[in-house]
Amino acid sequence: MDVVPYFGLNVFNKPYDFKNKRRAISNYIDYMLIRTMKMFTYNNLPETIPQNALETYIQMNGMVCVFEKDGNIYASFGGWGGEPNAYYIPTKFVVANPYLNVFETFTVGEDCVIIKNDSMYKGLREMFRKYATQLATNDVSLQIASISSRMISLIEATNDKAEQSARKYIEDIERGDLSVIASPAFIDGIRTQPYMQTSQSGVISALIEYQQYMKASWFNELGLQSNYNMKRESINSNEAQLNEDALFPLVDDMLECRQAGMDEVNKMFGTNISVELSSAWSDNQLEKDLMQEQMESEISDKSETEGGDDIDSEESISEDDIE
């Protein structure tokens, strides 16, 4: 087993197992979760609620329960309980946290606050599983296609001597040596069959395009611009901006749900916590606001110009009538 020293740690350098789809799916989800951890920034969070844990609970479970214990507030996942209200929303939330010695059923809105990821309490888990599964499956197909592309032709040997000669010929070519066939028996004892068909030449390209398309769709659903060009030629700026309107609704809803939840936390526990967009999501929001302001300004200027023309027209008409 090869061991490579890496910053004082021993890293086992072994090939990635593409056939282990369960682990590949988990890796895809974890790496995307690392990105979405940077979606929001919290201000004035208490030390008892780490932001990373808070966002992990909200994104993966669709909600989190904030409660007070021994003068400190904590966030924990759990499950719904109790009778639903008039709109069939549960009124109780059950928390079991052995470390805090909390095994209680809290009343929502009275001694706990539920912060939801989105309006439907869905979270991002199912979305992540969907795209991670598709990408992991495509990785297997791409790996098989990549290995199969090495087999341009199949060599068939009719006897042991011909097989040994064929192996030596392939080894020489692999080392970069120009091999020489010394015996006519070699040619007489083997046959080659074409393996890679012309129709298979575009398989790898199609799989790569599919991989790029699924990744772009995943990022777009999370509010990050990642255009995927299905065409072979270049695209103009208008085509590049076609999907921008679809980027914001989910992120806007997630932000509003967190802000509303933190307002309830501040009101119930006397804190001063705020939340806002961060990283690339914040930049996208700024660009969106600037575009909106520019559009409103252009509409306003156009209205003023058209209004001025109407006034001048009316004045000229009234002067002609007077004359």
Q: What angle do CA 43, 116, 113 make, to 5 degrees?
A: 75
- Helical (H) or strand (E) element with 235: none
Q: Tell me the backbone φ, ψ of residue 232, rounded to 5 degrees.
A: -85, -20
Kindly report the pTM of this predicted structure.
0.75
Domain boundaries, the chain: 153-194
Q: Please tell me the distance from the alpha carbon of residue 24 to that of residue 157, in angstroms, as a whole number.
A: 39
**pLDDT score, position 172:** 78
**pLDDT score, position 151:** 66
Q: List per-residue pLDDT tens for the chain, 323 residues long.
A: 455 555 555 555 678 888 899 999 999 999 999 999 999 999 999 999 999 999 999 999 999 999 999 999 999 999 999 999 999 999 999 999 999 999 999 999 999 999 999 999 999 999 999 999 999 999 999 988 887 777 666 677 777 777 777 788 778 777 777 666 556 666 666 666 666 655 566 888 889 999 999 999 999 899 887 766 555 455 555 555 555 666 678 999 999 999 999 999 999 999 999 999 887 777 776 766 666 666 666 676 666 676 655 545 444 444 455 44
Burial class (CB in 10 A: 0-12, 13-18, 19+), 131: buried
- Helical (H) or strand (E) element with 44: none
**pLDDT score, position 43:** 95
